[in-house]
Amino acid sequence: MLTRANASVQQQNLSHIISENLGQILDRGRVMAIAAEGWFNGNPAETLGHLSSMAAADRIFLRIALYDQTSRRVYTSSPAQDSPEFTTAVWALLSTSAQEGTNHLRLAPLSPSSEHAWQIPLLIPVNGNHNTPRGVLLVVLDLGYFLQLYRHIDMGRSGVIQVLTADAMVVAEARPEGLVLQNGARRAGVSLPPGVHAGALQGDLFQDGRTYLSSFRQPESRPFTVVVSRDMQEILTAHSAIRSRLFAGLAVLTAFFAAVTFWVARGIQRQGGLVEALARSNEKNQLLIDQLEEEKRRAVMLAAHDHLTGLPNRRMFNELLASHLLQAKRNRRHYALMYLDLDRFKSVNDTLGHHVGDLLLQAVSARLRAGLRESDLVARLGGDEFAVLVTGLERMDDIAAVAGKLVEQLSLPYEGLDGHAIQTSPSIGVAVFPRDGQDIGALSRHADAAMYQSKRSGRGRYTFYDAVRKPADARFLEQRLPKAIAEHELVLHFQPKVRLCDYQLVGFEALVRWQHPEFGLIYPNDFIPLAESTGAIVELGNWVAQACCQQLASWQAEGLKVVPIAFNVSAMQLLDEELPLRVAGMLATHGVAAGSLEVEITETCLVESMDVAVKVLDALEKLGVHIALDDFGSGFSSLGYVRTLPIHCIKIDRSFINDIRNSPDDAVIVTSIITLAHNLKMRVVAEGVERLDQLIHLKTAGCDEVQGYFFSRPVPADAAREFLLQPAMSPA
């Protein structure tokens, strides 16, 4: 009985290992079904690439195919004709999923051809939200390749590994001499008890007159059962040989008993010691087997989850994050990645011990689960660092609300941690998709940077990545800027100008941004000074002028009624007498009228060489380009410039607008500038208008146009195009 029990335990362990490995393959098939949902969400090309890469990474997947809700095949990795029985199985799975909301995979009808003997087709439902069926994914497994992985395991001459279906049909069989070719599915010789998922049986498995010991493993919600069998005679042979030698020894001892009683007694004592040692050895073996099973279970758990909190670990979180980002690219809702770090967690471990620190981490994970929706993801990345993906929010303000809620909940005292009450708080960094990055690497770096900014700002708070997007290495940006201009990493954003008499859109100001591949969107204050110090400002200015003409031409080609675009010209550009010729060439190349451009200059541009600047500006005016004096009032505000230069518009500096309602001096200066400009037949534009009271005061004072956050921030070209379609911009 002991020999049979040992053999049964070994076979059960082998069936468990094979079953778990097969289950992992089925789980990868389910992950492919999750990725396949992207096909029905309007992104077939990206989904196809994702499915192909997942299938190519694993040799056990021979073929994949995708079927829609009508059981029509919409994609297949290799051509094959579907049988009527197969189509019926697909339709049945779709119907079952629709009625019951199930996501269990099923075995499709097997091919009767010996050529496909070890090819096992599985049908996996592709479900959308609330388990609504979207389609079915076919995954064809090569069980022959799978079983070949175990060909080196010593199972004796009679060992057999079988993979059975739920109705006990043999779909794959491996013996020591190799795989057994199946001529169609046949029923297994062993009858498995219903409702039992693991155990051992004994009987004439192959009806060849021999008794086999069989161990089986039948995991829940999986369509396969793994059976490992071996001839009982072979199992007992080794034990019989030992028993024969033992009897021979006893016979020798009995023969010597009459002559040497002492030696016989001593021999019996020795045999008793051997039996006791064998029993102890069996107990140790059983203990080792139990430990092996427990370690395997823990290894499977640790492969995807954190052992302390039960949350997904970094590897699993990144896989789920990639899947969610694919979905995020296909809708217009907001997604945010949050990195969360507990403040002063090290002091808890140092003063109260790691046991209390572990209890605190478990309490934090419980609060995170309770404070988030089921659709959100939460993971422990390591130590006291957690990650949260907030999905599908309607408004950007909701992201701040979620972050604030997490800070509030996680800052409440933690009672009853091994008799201690602990007060801690989180530092949270937030990176918003797609603004702060469109891939896992960029979002993770930016969320991490924002988290450390929260710590530097005083802890117990959240910080958006926008607040820390300041590239520290100016020398690196300085060296990279010429290449960025040449490789078109620069983009234009447009801020509208609104006429106050009727709130009509009358122009845009073009503002350059640097779409850096590592730092993300960099604003002008971070790289314009570098361009001026290195001389790259001339090349940068030429790029901006060219981009403005190109954008105007694009809008004209769409049949839109365009408005003038203004762009800034630096002091170095005003010293270049070839600038008017280049602008004329750009206008001619793109077929844009000169009146559609407006050049903005500042008083500081005129300090170095007034004569050359006047000459350049006169030439631009003769082309028909309008000229505006920007930031008026921030410098010396020399009226000589206004009188001498061909200026058509004065832009009042935002410093006079900020407190115009509460500062009588600012109000008088603004009114005087407006009166002076109107007397000189010039337009007046107020910059930095952010509040309704500022707008009312400027309109009362007679200001012509305004621009500022009250109407719109600078926006990309696509958003600016929407303003052209609806030019009225009501202050309401």
Please provide the CATH number assigned to the domain covering 474-725: 3.20.20.450
Q: What residues are paired with 387 via a beta bridge?
A: 339, 379
Instruction: Judge whether residue 600 has pLDDT over 50.
Output: yes
Instruction: Judge whether residue 184 has pLDDT over 60.
Output: no
Stretch 178-188: mean pLDDT = 65
- As a whole number, the mean pLDDT across the chain is 82
Helix intervals (H) in 576-609:
579-590
> Rounded to two decimals, what is the model's pTM?
0.41
Note the maximum CA span of the chain: 143
Please provide the CATH number assigned to the domain covering 8-146: 3.30.450.20
Q: For the chain, give the percent of residues with pLDDT over 90.
A: 23
Q: What is the pLDDT of residues 346-382, one digit of tens each?
A: 888 888 888 889 999 999 999 999 989 988 999 998 8
Stretch 600-621: mean pLDDT = 81
- What is residue 599's predicted lDDT score, i.e. its pLDDT? 95
Helix intervals (H) in 305-339:
314-328
Taken in order 694, 695, 696, 702, the sign of the CA dihedral is positive
User: CB under 8 Å to 392, separation ≥6 — which residues?
Assistant: 331, 333, 334, 335, 375
Least confident of 266-275, 278-287, 378-387: 266-275
Q: What residues are paired with 154 via a beta bridge?
A: none
Helix axes 354-371, 345-352, angle to 10 degrees: 140
Q: Which fold has domain 150-234?
A: Beta-Lactamase (3.30.450)
Instruction: Judge whether residue 114 has pLDDT over 60.
Output: no
Taken in order 292, 298, 301, 305, the sign of the CA dihedral is negative
Please provide the CATH number assigned to the domain covering 314-468: 3.30.70.270
Q: For the chain, give the percent of residues with pLDDT over 70.
A: 88
- What is residue 467's predicted lDDT score, i.e. its pLDDT? 46
- What is residue 243's predicted lDDT score, i.e. its pLDDT? 67
Burial code of 341-359, b = ≥16 C-beta within 10 A, e = fewer? bbbebeebbeebeeebbeb
Q: What is the pLDDT of residues 250-259, one digit of tens each?
A: 777 777 766 7
- What is residue 323's predicted lDDT score, i.e. its pLDDT? 85
Stretch 84-93: mean pLDDT = 77
| Residue 705: C-alpha distances to residues 80, 166, 302, 505, 569 (Å) | 68, 77, 63, 9, 21
Instruction: Judge whether residue 550 has pLDDT over 50.
Output: yes
- What is residue 103's predicted lDDT score, i.e. its pLDDT? 59
Domain ranges across the chain? 8-146, 150-234, 258-304, 314-468, 474-725
- What is residue 554's predicted lDDT score, i.e. its pLDDT? 95
Stretch 397-401: mean pLDDT = 87
Own/partner contacts of 78-84, CB < 8 Å, gap of 24 or more, are 83/109
Stretch 537-542: mean pLDDT = 90
Rounded to whole angstroms, the Cα distance separating 62 from 121 reads 10
- Same topology for domains 8-146 and 474-725, yes or no? no
Helix (H) / strand (E) containing 135: strand 133-142
Instruction: Judge whether residue 468 has pLDDT over 50.
Output: no
Q: What residues are paired with 455 via a beta bridge?
A: none
Rounded to whole angstroms, the Cα distance separating 231 from 211 reads 6
What's the pLDDT band for 339 if we cut at 50, 70, 90?
very high
Which three-class secondary structure state does DSSP give residue 342?
strand
Helix intervals (H) in 161-260:
232-257
For residue 681 the two structure tokens come to: 């037949």
Stretch 215-228: mean pLDDT = 80
What's the pLDDT band for 388 if we cut at 50, 70, 90?
very high
Q: What is the pLDDT of residues 14-39, one digit of tens each?
A: 888 888 888 888 888 888 888 888 88
Stretch 392-420: mean pLDDT = 88
Least confident of 124-138, 285-299, 338-352: 285-299
Whether 392 contacts 333, CB under 8 Å: yes
User: CB under 8 Å to 652, separation ≥6 — which residues?
Assistant: 632, 633, 670, 673, 674, 684, 685, 686, 687, 703
Q: Per mean pLDDT, which of 250-254, 385-389, 708-712 is the most reliable?
A: 385-389
Stretch 226-245: mean pLDDT = 76
Taken in order 18, 24, 28, 33, the sign of the CA dihedral is positive
Least confident of 191-205, 249-263, 715-729: 249-263
